[in-house]
Amino acid sequence: MRTIAVLPVKSFGRAKQRLTGGFPDRPGLAAAMVADVLDALAQVPELDQVIVVTAQAVSADRRVTIVHDPVEAGQSAAAARGIEAALERGAERVLLVPGDCPTLDPREVSALLAIRAGVVIVPDRHGTGTNSLLLTPPTVIAPAFGEGSFARHRGLAEAAGASFHVAQAGSLELDVDTRDDLAALRRALGARPGGAVRTRALLEEAAVA
């Protein structure tokens, strides 16, 4: 089954505004996290392609397709643009992945892709948002991210008559939007050697600055 991952990525200069005062280089952190996520996805054999929807240059890797998003109307709109691009490239299912989960474990992504359901939802660590969606076919539901999106996506799956599964994937649940999230990321990196090379280096540099 041809599977394409889609990452909606906000311009680094506009990203992580809720971290203001909590980290000195928000654009640098956003860039580092996206690069680490792309590194992890490159190690997932079940993925045929990766699409990044953004107004920002994020990768010179020829395996990554950049879909320009000049409007940046939000995560759901960017995800929809990415799904359209994935369909044009023959996708039979899409995996919507956040660009701010730098601890992403390729093995967890492979396990997620082994689940057979029309809609697979990975909630955030609070259980109310959605950090990842696996959609088979890609148009089974329209992405509807934002506050309360976990219940919204579940409702959309039910309304569409699609099978759905709620999946637990710890490394996908740890996205970084707030100071609390950043503290949780630091703890996760401290407990796990290796991985997230760029993010880890940036946080370590900030800690000793």
Binding residue positions: 130, 146, 149
Please provide residue 123's backbone torsions phi and psi, each rounded to the nearest 5 degrees.
-75, 160
Burial class for 116, CB neighbours closer than 10 Å (0-12, 13-18, 19+): exposed
- How far apart, in whole angstroms, are the C-alpha atoms of residue 122 and residue 97? 10
- How far apart, in whole angstroms, are the C-alpha atoms of residue 118 and residue 156? 11
Calculate ∠ Cα 119-121-123, nearest 5°. 170
Task: Show binding-site residues for phosphoenolpyruvate.
Answer: 130, 146, 149
Q: Do the beta carbons of residue 46 and residue 115 sit within 8 Å?
A: no
- How far apart, in whole angstroms, are the C-alpha atoms of residue 59 and residue 13? 16
Helix, strand or coil, per DSSP, at residue 30:
helix
